[in-house]
């Protein structure tokens, strides 16, 4: 009985130590990562929305606002991905995410898709302040970059 | 009766035209602006959180992750404010915001406060990858910048 008690205590101690180790990993908790990622996607979506509404004629074209939106879209697209795409924060590991495991099993493909948005957003920075036709042309590239990455690396909505 | 009908129709036409004009202003709707602003604040908060946890010892210090978080904090802090701080998207004009009217009545003070975060975040970019002591020193500046701006330009939580 004493020996059993000791063994149980030892196992509990090991389990607690393992939990403490997991808690103190040098990375944010998966749910925090999802919140941070959704915030960044919200920033990308907000600025793409301004440009998209101008392209569709749902908002009057304004060169200064379009330029600022393009600049912020480009800035958001080029953020360091190390803090945002942390392995273990995808579907099945965290709540409220549609990030597919392919992001981590196919890192070269994912990086290529992410670079697609960087490239399209950089073109938009040039186009947005030029005129509405230029903005519309660049918007096609932005839309393609969004959908290419989402099709491959984002799970369907429930 | 006919005249009254005509007048009513005219008034309705004017009212519809005015609504269409308001809808087609070259700026996002206030509620959309609030969402975009909260997304950017979420990005700032997420990366400040990583650095703050390392500073407090709640997350082990990791130079690469700290540097990436500092870089993204700095990038978010320097985003073009034109799309985010649109007049008419503060308390009383939109839902879910604590942005005080002082942001727009005191633009020089607000810009100075916003520049405070840019400066503190730039210092953090240098410090974060150096060592934990440097990160802790720079964290004080980031914390001061956050609280200085929030005290002056963010309404208390309900």
Residue B140 within any structural domain of the chain: yes
Confidence of residue A24 (pLDDT cuts 50, 70, 90): low
Instruction: Return the higher-pLDDT residue of B20 and B106.
Output: B106
The Cα of B137 is separated from the nearest Cα of chain A by a number of Å equal to 20
Residue A91 within any structural domain of the chain: yes
Size of chain B in residues: 158
Residue B142 within any structural domain of the chain: yes
Residue A22 within any structural domain of the chain: no
CB A43 within 8 A of CB A65: no
> Which residues of A are less than 8 Å from B53 in CB distance?
28
- Residues A76, A79: Cα–Cα separation, whole Å: 5
- Residues A137, A140: Cα–Cα separation, whole Å: 6
> Which residues of B are less than 8 Å from A53 in CB distance?
28
CB B86 within 8 A of CB B57: no
- Residues A97, A154: Cα–Cα separation, whole Å: 9
| pTM: predicted TM-score of the whole model, two decimal places | 0.85
Q: What is the pLDDT of residue B20?
A: 44
Residue B49 within any structural domain of the chain: yes
Residue B116 within any structural domain of the chain: yes
Calculate the average pLDDT of chain B.
89
Task: Domain of residue B142: give its range.
Answer: 28-153
- Whether A69 has its CB under 8 Å from any CB of chain B: the answer is yes
Size of chain A in residues: 158
Confidence of residue B9 (pLDDT cuts 50, 70, 90): very low
> Which residues of B are less than 8 Å from A82 in CB distance?
64-65, 68
Backbone angles phi, psi at A85, to 5 degrees: -110, 65
Residue B32 within any structural domain of the chain: yes
Domain count, chain B: 1
Cβ of A32 and B46 within 8 Å? yes
DSSP B14-81: HHHHHHHHHHTSSS--HHHHHHHHHHHHHHHHHHHHHHHHHHHTSS---HHHHHHHHHHHHHHHTS-T
Residue A94 DSSP label: B
Which one, of B93, B85, B95, B88, lies nearest residue B158 by Cα? B95
In this structure, what CATH number is given to the domain that contains residue A81? 1.20.120.10
Taking only the tens place, the pLDDT of each residue in A74-102 is 999 999 999 999 999 999 999 999 999 99
Confidence of residue B24 (pLDDT cuts 50, 70, 90): low
Residue A65 within any structural domain of the chain: yes
Bin B156: left if φ > 0, else alpha if -120 < ψ < 50, else beta: beta
What is the average pLDDT across A6-22? 46
Residue A129 DSSP label: T
Confidence of residue A13 (pLDDT cuts 50, 70, 90): very low
Choose among B36, B53, B68: nearest Cβ to A43: B36
Which one, of B37, B26, B25, lies nearest residue B84 by Cα? B37
Task: Mention every residue, 6+ apart, whose C-beta is less than 8 A from residue A90.
Answer: A97, A99, A100, A101, A103, A104
Taking only the tens place, the pLDDT of each residue in B112-152 is 999 999 999 999 999 999 999 999 999 999 999 999 999 99
CB A90 within 8 A of CB A101: yes
Choose among B58, B61, B68: nearest Cβ to A82: B68
Calculate the average pLDDT of chain A.
89
- Residues A104, A107: Cα–Cα separation, whole Å: 5
């Amino acid at each position: 009985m004493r020996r059993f008690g000791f063994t149980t205590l030892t196992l509990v101690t090991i389990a607690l130590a393992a939990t403490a180790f997991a808690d103190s990993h040098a990375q944010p908790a998966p749910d925090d990562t999802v919140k941070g990622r959704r915030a960044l996607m919200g920033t990308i979506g907000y600025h793409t929305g301004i440009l998209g509404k101008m392209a569709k004629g749902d908002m009057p074209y304004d060169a200064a606002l379009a330029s600022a939106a393009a600049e912020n879209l480009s800035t958001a697209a080029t953020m360091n991905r190390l803090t945002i795409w942390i392995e273990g924060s995808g579907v099945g590991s965290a709540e409220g995410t549609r990030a597919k495991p392919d992001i981590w099993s196919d890192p070269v493909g994912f990086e290529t898709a992410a670079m697609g948005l960087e490239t399209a957003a950089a073109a938009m920075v040039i186009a947005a302040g030029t005129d509405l036709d230029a903005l519309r042309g660049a918007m096609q590239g932005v839309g393609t970059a969004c959908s290419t990455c989402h099709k491959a690396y984002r799970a369907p909505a429930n």
